Structure 1
Amino acid sequence: MTRQYNILIFDGFSNHCLANMVEPLRAANTLSRQSLYAWRFCSIDGRTVQSSSGLTVTPNGALSEQRGDVLVVMPSYGYLKLDTRETIRAILAAAGKHSQLAGLDTGSWLLARAGLLNDHRATIHWDELARFEETFPLVNAVQERYVIDGNRLTCSGAMAAFDLASALIRRDHGPLLSMEVAHLLMSRGGADQYTLPLKSEDTLVNRALTLMQANLETPLPIKEIARKIGCSQKRLEGRIQAELKTTPQALYRRLRLNLARKLAEETEQSIAEIAGRCGYENASAMTRAFKAEFGQTPTAFRSGS
């Protein structure tokens, strides 16, 4: 089921903050080949708004016209001037049409003014945290990059918006997709673009990932990977399950098939050549695994059908 995000922007909004929320959602759609997320941009009255750096955006409509899963409030600069009865009434009315509310950067201020963060943990841009605490004593203000407290989502700025979006993807669709999204958005071009390593927060898992990705064409037994990184296979299995909610075997297979998908999409190599590069004995074996993982054959994926 597609989750609908409606993003409320104002004059002075941050391009960086907006992109860091939307691009991970877009990347999750791209990698999964599914419409996991959809988004619309809106303003209070539906009129054009301009970002802090001069980017003009024509919204999809007025806030009152929006209904969906997540309402994202994103004023960024000049938020105190936006703290008006008109704005707060509009946000309160829209809140009832959404199951979750998010305040990005200084959006937390407007949600708090509307009483929508009372008795919730929340954060705001750290430059404004002291004033936020004093003004809204019913909000449990914390100095964190982002906070997910039930159906209230807040983050402290543009860079933290990426962290929040990644956490939401992780919550909705698992840690592996979230990690792949981060990898995609931090990729570089060049000769090594097909084998850039995924990264995990767990050091042991990260070492296993590095070994796996260095040996995609000739896969190593999981027992050998564990030996090379200095732990038992059982311990490795436990750490990967805890960190990525999968088994080492499934993780290794996913890495090989991710490479196959990228090669199918971005090169003219034959399916047999791709199979060899991804550690499969023949094209048929890879095709079966590819279809089981992604719901279609590499040939169909390549043709966009």
Structure 2
Amino acid sequence: MTRSYNFLLFDGFSNLCLANMVEPLRAANTLAGQDLYAWQFYSPDGAPVQSSSGLQVAPHGAMGFESGDALVVMPSYGYLEHSVPDTHRALRRAATRHPKLAGLDTGSWLLAHAGLLEGHRATIHWDELSRFEEAFPDVEVVQERYVIDRNRITCSGALAVYDLATALILADHGPLLSMEVAHLLMNRSEPSAASPQMKSEDRLVNRVLAVMQSTLDAPVLIKDIARRLGCSQKKIETRVLAELGITPQALYRRLRLNLARKLAVETQQSVAEIASRCGYENPSAMTRAFRAQFGQTPTAYRSGS
């Protein structure tokens, strides 16, 4: 099922805030090979809006009677000028058509002024915390990077928005896709790394991933990985399943097929060459596995058909 996000942008919104929300969703779609998320952009009156750095965005229209899974409110700079009765009424109307409401950066202020955060925990850009707490005593104000309290989501600033987006992907689709998104966007790679590695929070799982990613062209048995790491195969199976919700064998296969997809899109290598680089002796076997994973053959995926 596709989750739909409607972004309500105001003049002065933050480019970085918007990108850090949308790009992880886009990456999740790319990695999953399907539209897990969809989004559209709106402004209060349908006119183009200009970000704090001068980028102009032509919205899909004015926020009227659109519905979706979540409304994301983004004023950023100049939010007090946007906190007017017309805005509050529009947000209250939108709240009836969106199960979840999110205020990014200073969007929390507009939601609170519209009476949509009463009885909820919420945060805001930390420069505004004291003012926010004084203005809205019915809101439990906390100094956190982001807060998800039932059907209300608030976030403190642009960099924290990335953490929020990956947390939402984690909640919707599990830890493996969230980790793959972080890897694709290079959030956890070392700055000097020539070939960034996908990483987990679990130390043993992280070591297993390192071995797997260094042997994609010549896969080894899980029992041999266990021997190399000085632990039992059962321990690896238990920890990988607990951390990523997938067996080590399936994880290894997914890593190899992710590489195959990357090579299909970014190179002109033949299917046989791709298969060899991904540890498949038989190109037909790789093609079958690729189609089972992504719904298309490597050739069709490359052509975008």
Q: How many angstroms apart in 1 are the aligned matches of 2:81 and 2:180?
A: 39
- How far did 1:158 drift? 0.4
Q: In the alignment, what sits opposite 1:64?
A: 64
Q: How many angstroms apart in 1 are the aligned matches of 2:210 and 2:287?
A: 25
- The residue correspondences of 1:96-245 to structure 2 (distance < 5 A) are 96-186=96-186, 196-245=196-245
Q: How many angstroms apart in 1 are the aligned matches of 2:230 and 2:184?
A: 29
Secondary structure in 1 matching 2:35: coil
Q: In the alignment, what sits opposite 1:35?
A: 35
1:56-111: CA deviation from partner (whole Å, max 9, x where unpaired)? 11211111142211100011111122221111111111111111111101111111
Q: Which moved more, 1:85-94 or 1:136-145?
A: 136-145
- How far did 1:42 drift? 0.8
Amino acid at match of 1:122: A
CA contact (8 A) 2:186 2:196 kept: no
Q: Which moved more, 1:198-207 or 1:150-159?
A: 198-207
Q: How many angstroms apart in 1 are the aligned matches of 2:11 and 2:295?
A: 43
- How far did 1:303 drift? 2.4
- The residue correspondences of 1:257-276 to structure 2 (distance < 5 A) are 257-276=257-276
Q: How many angstroms apart in 2 are the aligned matches of 1:42 and 1:19?
A: 15
Amino acid at match of 1:82: H
Q: How many angstroms apart in 2 are the aligned matches of 1:67 and 1:167?
A: 23
Amino acid at match of 1:77: Y
TM-score by length of 2: 0.93
Q: Which moved more, 1:130-139 or 1:257-266?
A: 130-139
- Return 5+ residue gaps in structure 2 as ranges: none
Q: How many angstroms apart in 1 are the aligned matches of 2:240 and 2:116?
A: 38
Secondary structure in 2 matching 1:64: coil
Q: How many angstroms apart in 1 are the aligned matches of 2:292 and 2:211?
A: 24
CA contact (8 A) 2:212 2:219 kept: yes
CA contact (8 A) 2:106 2:124 kept: yes
1:161-205: CA deviation from partner (whole Å, max 9, x where unpaired)? 1111111112222221221122112289xxx97x53112222221
Q: How many angstroms apart in 2 are the aligned matches of 1:232 and 1:211?
A: 15
Amino acid at match of 2:149: D
Q: How many angstroms apart in 1 are the aligned matches of 2:228 and 2:144?
A: 37
Secondary structure in 1 matching 2:87: helix
Secondary structure in 1 matching 2:242: helix
- How far did 1:18 drift? 0.6
Q: How many angstroms apart in 2 are the aligned matches of 1:283 and 1:182?
A: 29
Amino acid at match of 2:68: G
Identity of aligned residues (%): 71
Q: In the alignment, what sits opposite 2:73?
A: 73
TM-score by length of 1: 0.93
Q: Which moved more, 1:242-251 or 1:224-233?
A: 224-233
Amino acid at match of 2:134: E
Secondary structure in 2 matching 1:129: helix
Q: In the alignment, what sits opposite 1:5?
A: 5
- How far did 1:127 drift? 1.6
Q: Aligned-residue CA RMSD in angstroms?
A: 1.8
Secondary structure in 2 matching 1:12: coil
Secondary structure in 2 matching 1:68: coil
Q: Give the total of aligned pairs.
A: 301
Q: How many angstroms apart in 1 are the aligned matches of 2:81 and 2:89?
A: 15
Q: How many angstroms apart in 1 are the aligned matches of 2:271 and 2:295?
A: 17
Q: How many angstroms apart in 2 are the aligned matches of 1:154 and 1:284?
A: 48
Q: In the alignment, what sits opposite 2:296?
A: 296
- How far did 1:259 drift? 0.4
- How far did 1:242 drift? 2.1
Amino acid at match of 2:7: I
Secondary structure in 1 matching 2:196: coil
Amino acid at match of 2:243: E
Q: How many angstroms apart in 1 are the aligned matches of 2:80 and 2:270?
A: 58
Secondary structure in 2 matching 1:225: helix
- How far did 1:299 drift? 2.2
CA contact (8 A) 2:122 2:147 kept: yes
Secondary structure in 1 matching 2:116: coil
Amino acid at match of 1:130: S
Q: In the alignment, what sits opposite 1:287?
A: 287
